[in-house]
Amino acid sequence: MRSMALINHKGGVGKTTATFNLAWAWADKNYKTMAIDLDPQGALSASMGHVNAEHGMDWYLKTDVPVRDIRINIGKNIWLIPPGSLLSDIKVSWGAHQARYSQRLHQLIVEAQESGMDFVVFDCPPADLWVIELLVGTVGALLIPVTPDYLALQGLSMLMKKLAEENDEKGPEVYVFLTRYQARKRIAQEAEQMLKQHFGSHLLEAKIREAVAVAESPGFGQSIFQYASRHPAAMDYLDLAGEIISRLTLQSNYSATYAGKQT
């Protein structure tokens, strides 16, 4: 099983939209996928048609409830865990209960794998350091969407410093990909070159182009594939989903499904 989280200190970079569309892309390819909304505002859940769910990750972290009691089947091969109405309390109580919450998140990964999931993908709120601390020791990879502008690059620099503090040799792989990309803009080309120089092979080749359809589709509770399946942005997300499958090792959560043998 492959587990990953989409993170960025900066809002507006397409993090939730990418989580939504990646989950649908994998599910459409018959990979069982669980999308987990770690943002108390619940944008991912709203995009999937579930607003203000009473229980979700808040309940899971605070109690011993099993995953099966909080996950919601959205469609074929895809499940959602909403944030729940009290997830914001986790941030407040993080210092006192960090070990408990970390243990529960590890348990969630175990339960997801035992239930046959192929992918677990977390959508994270911007600028919440407790989420980074929670996920670094748990998921196999951190995926960072970045818009091609200088403010976004500055925010990325701050995020990488924080990850360097939290990460170690056994921590998750870190990959960056571009969103809202417009190839004709000079700033986009310059930003891409800067990212290539800094991240090398950890900059994913797939880029998500700027498109109105991408912004519109969540408002209809639809992925880009449901809303405009022939749109170039849909092809971009398919490329990204495929590249993640082919490039990420994720050894800490790598199952026989992908390795061809038990690890």
32-87 pLDDT, tens per residue?
999 999 999 999 999 998 887 788 999 999 999 999 999 999 999 999 999 998 99
pTM above 0.85, yes or no: yes
The domains found in the chain, sorted by start residue, are 2-252 (3.40.50.300)
- Count the neighbouring beta carbons within 10 Å of the beta carbon of residue 154: 12
Alpha carbon distance 43, 231 (integer Å): 23
Q: What is the C-alpha to C-alpha distance for residues 46 and 82, in angstroms, rounded to an integer?
A: 9
For 239, counting Cβ atoms within 10 Å of its Cβ (0-12 exposed, 13-18 middle, 19+ buried), the class is middle
C-alpha to C-alpha distance for 133 and 131, rounded to whole angstroms: 5
pLDDT of residue 259: 28
Q: Please compute the mean of the pLDDT values over residues 85-93 and round it to a whole number.
A: 86
The partner residues of 194 in beta bridges, in order of sequence, read: none
> Percent of the chain having pLDDT more than 90?
50
Q: Which residue has the higher pLDDT, 230 or 164?
A: 230
Strand spans (E) along 124-253: 141-146, 173-181, 203-209
What is the Cα–Cα distance from 220 to 102, expressed in whole angstroms? 34
d(CA 17, CA 1): 22
Give the rounded percent of residues in the chain with a pLDDT score beyond 70.
90
Residue 43: Cβ-neighbour burial (10 angstroms; 0-12, 13-18, 19+): buried
Here the tokens at position 223 are 């992925």
**pLDDT at residue 97 in the model:** 86
Integer Cα distance of 69 and 73 in angstroms = 11
Tokens 């912004």 sit on residue: 215
Compare 168 and 155 and report the one with higher pLDDT: 155
Indicate the helix (H) or strand (E) that contains 165: helix 150-166
Q: What is the pLDDT of residues 176-203, one digit of tens each?
A: 999 999 888 888 888 888 888 888 888 9
